[in-house]
Amino acid sequence: MDAYADNLYRFVLKNLKNEAMAADVVQDTFEKLWIKLEDVSGLKVKTYLFTSAYHTMIDYIRKEKRYADTDPVTLNEANESEHYSDLAEILERAVQNLPEDQKVVVMLRDYEGYSYREIAEITKLSESQVKVYIYRARVYLKNYIGSMEQVI
Amino acid sequence: MDINRNNYEAFLLDLLEGRLSVKEEQKLNDFLKHHPEYVADLPDLDLLSLERPRLTYPRRDQLKKEMTLADAHISAANFDLFSIARMEGDLSSQQEEEHRYMVSVDDRRLKEWSAWQNTRLVPEHIPFPGKKKLRRNKAVNGRVLWLSILSAAASLTLVLVLLRIDPVVPGSGLSVADPEKSPPTLEQPTAVPETPLYAAEETPLTAVEETPRTSDKEVPKAVIDKEPLLALQEDAAVAVKNQEPEIMLETLAELGESSPQIIPETIEPRPLRIAGQLSSNAELATGSSDRIEPLQLPQVSPNLSSLSVAQLTELDRKKLISDFAREHDISVMSVANAGINGINKLTGSDISLLASRDENGEVSGFRLKSKRFSFSRPLAREQ
């Protein structure tokens, strides 16, 4: 539970960017797990947690009207006056600029190491969609990092 | 519909879009022949019809490109795709080797590959601050369950206590089972009331003695089986015959020590006095009469018989409960209610315990009620 809680919290926090809301989502998710524990296979607990958290998170975003299916900002929109100390910060910034779907799948992929199928199961997307989103996210991140390196 | 100056434009539009029938088209032509002024204002009909543009999306092939690289070989065109696929672990060993080779021989590709690798997110450890709240609180559930079970057990015990009519010995404290209403058992040996004491030679007397040592103290009780009592009664009968006013039967205790029928484990050896009872019978005690009258035993409750070990234990238990309740200010009804609540929680039933009160407002009985049954019992005095 400890490891899952931390991972789940990181996943939600990175998406919501709000500690209180992220904590609420994690709390709600575990509450649902305890209620449905009889129905959740032991091997599927982590997937269940992330699936439930993902959908709860989407609900939170919609409630807060923060869910906007915006296109990723173009490279020119990046604030060139900002200074980034290292690659991690640049990457963090780039991830936040990703569309919600791409952000979620790439986080599940890199942070949690989920397979395409598992990500598709969590996000209710097709595997093909997951691949496309990951591909687009990688391309965007690479271009963003490249452009910021030039700026620096 | 006739064509006129007000609607001919609609017909013209239908004509352009091919919605007019042959007949309607003929009508429109006739109308325009008769009204050439409208024809002059019309644009060229051929110009009104737009040609469907034949545009081709320049990256059409890319739209159909599949992400699978099953049989593909690396090239400059698909290097990025291969790089991402290698990061994701989607390449076969041969494809990965091809990619590795291309990167190793070309510095520009190496730099590109390095840039691709930088897009991988590195998980950072962010501890969740409220982990304790996430745990399923089994301890509380277990505690509640145990409390419920204990409450249920206490309730059942209490109900049993309330339902039972405890032996109340009026007067002398000597209790004898009613042979008509209470069948003789080993624990409830038969004793015949209104039987002369010396007739006990034929009918073994089983007596439960309560000795009022002092006025307020607990009354000791004991079970005395047939044989020692038989011997005892023989002695008593002899003593009576010898007109001894009192027979101190402390020997009973001694008898009990030597006899296995007396149960000494549950009570301290206490001297039992039949003498006290005998002396209450004035005629017998004083020995004023030469003729010994039969001992008149008082009528007692039909359920009253000799006290068994269980009954003695019950007495001690009740005393303990009484002391505990007094000490902790716990009423019997509150304990009973707690127990009933426990039963309801465990079994999902809807039993309720109601107290009935007399005209003085004191609890005089109780009533157990549920959807399926309901019954009332008077409250035992000691409760």
Per-residue model confidence as pLDDT tens digits over B78-116: 888 889 888 888 888 888 899 999 999 988 889 889 889
Disruptive mutation site among B87, B117, B126, B133 for chain A (greatest number of A CBs within 10 Å): B126
A-B contacts (CB, under 8 Å): 74
Q: How much is the pLDDT for B172?
A: 44
Residue from the list A111, A135, A138 with its beta carbon closest to the beta carbon of B123: A111
Q: Does B119 touch chain A (CB under 8 A)?
A: yes
Disruptive mutation site among B108, B134, B140 for chain A (greatest number of A CBs within 10 Å): B134
Q: How much is the pLDDT for B196?
A: 43
- Residue identified by tokens 């019997």 is B332
State the Rg of chain A over Cα.
16
Window 76-115 of B: residues touching A by CB (8 A cutoff) are 80-81, 84, 87-88, 115
Average pLDDT over residues B109-134: 85
Kindly write down the DSSP assignment for every residue of B164-203, as one continuous string: S------TT--B---TTTS---SSS----TT--GGGGGTS
Q: Does A17 touch chain B (CB under 8 A)?
A: no
Give dist(CA A119, CA A131) in Å, integer: 10
Contact B128 A145 (CB under 8 A): no
CB neighbour burial string for B260-292, b if at least 16 within 10 angstroms, e if fewer: eebeeebbeebbbbbbbbbeebeebbeeeeeeb
Q: Chain B residue with minimal CA distance to A2?
A: B131
Could you read off the pLDDT of B175-185 as tens digits, one per residue? 444 444 444 44
Disruptive mutation site among A89, A131, A136, A149 for chain B (greatest number of B CBs within 10 Å): A131
Q: What is the average pLDDT score of chain A?
A: 81
How many H helices and E strands in chain B? 16, 3
Contacts of A117 (CB under 8 A, 6+ apart): A127
Chain B partners of A128 at a C-beta cutoff of 8 Å? 67
Disruptive mutation site among B62, B68, B121 for chain A (greatest number of A CBs within 10 Å): B121
**Confidence band of A80 (pLDDT split at 50, 70, 90):** very low
Q: How much is the pLDDT for B68?
A: 61
Contact A23 B130 (CB under 8 A): yes
Report which of residues B142 and A37 the model is more confident about.
Answer: A37
Report which of residues A62 and B253 the model is more confident about.
Answer: A62
Q: What CATH number does domain A84-152 carry, 1.10.3470.10, 1.10.10.10, 3.40.50.10470, 3.30.460.80?
A: 1.10.10.10
**Confidence band of B122 (pLDDT split at 50, 70, 90):** confident
Helix (H, G, I), strand (E, B) or coil at B257: helix
Window 85-104 of A: residues touching B by CB (8 A cutoff) are 87-88, 91, 95
Residue from the list B84, B123, B126 with its beta carbon closest to the beta carbon of A110: B123
Contacts of B305 (CB under 8 A, 6+ apart): B167, B175, B176, B177, B182, B187, B188, B189, B208
Residue from the list A7, A111, A141 with its beta carbon closest to the beta carbon of B119: A141
Could you read off the pLDDT of B198-249 as tens digits, one per residue? 444 444 444 444 444 444 444 444 444 445 545 555 554 555 455 444 444 4
- Residue identified by tokens 């904590």 is A23
A84, A93 in Cβ contact below 8 A? yes
Q: Does A40 touch chain B (CB under 8 A)?
A: no
A15, A57 in Cβ contact below 8 A? yes
Q: Are strands B363-369 and B374-378 parallel, antiparallel or unpaired?
A: antiparallel
B224, B206 in Cβ contact below 8 A? yes
Boundaries of every domain in chain A = 1-69, 84-152
Q: Which CATH architecture has domain A1-69?
A: Orthogonal Bundle (1.10)
B233, B272 in Cβ contact below 8 A? no
Instruction: Find, among B79, B85, B86, B84, the residue nearest to B105 by Cα.
Output: B79
Chain B partners of A30 at a C-beta cutoff of 8 Å? 134
Contact B84 A91 (CB under 8 A): no
- Sign for the pseudo-dihedral over CA of A16, A20, A23, A29: negative
Please state the ipTM of this predicted complex. 0.73
